[in-house]
Amino acid sequence: MVFESNQMHGVSLYDWKHYISYFNLYNKVTLRKLNYIRKAEAQANLLAFMKKNLGKKYEISAYKLLKLESDFNW
Each residue's pLDDT expressed in tens, for the chain with a length of 74 residues: 888 888 888 899 988 888 878 767 677 777 778 777 778 888 888 888 889 989 999 887 787 777 766 554 43
Is 62 inside a domain boundary? no
Is 43 inside a domain boundary? yes
Is 48 inside a domain boundary? yes
Is 15 inside a domain boundary? yes
Residue 70 has a pLDDT of 54
Is 71 inside a domain boundary? no
Domain coverage including residue 39:
2-54
Residue 54 has a pLDDT of 92
Is 26 inside a domain boundary? yes
Is 7 inside a domain boundary? yes
Please state, as a whole number, how many other Cβ atoms lie within 10 Å of the Cβ of residue 34: 6
Residue 55 has a pLDDT of 92
The total number of structural domains in the chain stands at 1
Is 30 inside a domain boundary? yes
